[in-house]
Structures are given as C-alpha cells and as structure tokens.
Amino acid sequence: MNTDQQPEPPSPPHLDREKVVELVSYAERNVLLLQWEERELRRLNRDSSDLLPIIQGWEFMSIALRESYDLEETDFPR
C-alpha cells in the first residue's frame, strides 16, 4: 500500500437497518443517562469531569452511525 495516496474510505458492515436504529437509540440513551449522572454529581458538589469525554464519545458514536447508515429522523419511532 502506497502511504502517499489517500486510502479508500471504509464501508460500514452490512447490518439490518432495525439493528442500526437500535444501536443509535442505545447510544442516545447512554448520553441521557450520563448527562443525568453528571448533573447529579455537580449538584452534590462532586467532580464529574471524567464523564465529559465519555458523553462526547457516545454522542460521536450516535452521529457516526446515523451518518454511516444514512439514517433519518423518520427511522426512529417516537
């Protein structure tokens, strides 16, 4: 492989759309839970700084899955 050339963009693995929606929903629920935990720790005047990168990671995962699999808001039941 020539490292001077731009590599081919990877394709996501084939997953059923329903499973991808479940994974995105799982990531989003984790964000909500961790944000709640962060607020509770702050309310108790305890350090919550270690949660921020974890929350950002779950947010990134949710966005990355949505974009990789071209999901729309209509794919998510309310």
Could you read off the pLDDT of 27-46 as tens digits, one per residue? 999 999 999 999 999 999 99
> What percent of the chain has pLDDT above 90?
79
Predicted model pTM? 0.81
- Identity of residue 25: S
N-to-C CA span, the chain: 46
Mean pLDDT (the chain) is 93
- Identity of residue 16: D
Please indicate, yes or no, if residue 67 is contained in any of the structural domains. Answer: yes
Could you read off the pLDDT of 44-58 as tens digits, one per residue? 999 999 999 999 999
Q: Is 49 helix (H, G, I), strand (E, B) or coil?
A: coil
The range of the structural domain enclosing residue 33 comes to: 17-71
- Contact between 41 and 10 (Cβ < 8 Å): no
Please indicate, yes or no, if residue 47 is contained in any of the structural domains. Answer: yes
In order, the DSSP letters of 6-57 are PPPPPPPPP--HHHHHHHHHHHHHHHHHHHHHHHHHHHTT---TTHHHHHHH
Domains of the chain: total: 1
Please indicate, yes or no, if residue 35 is contained in any of the structural domains. Answer: yes
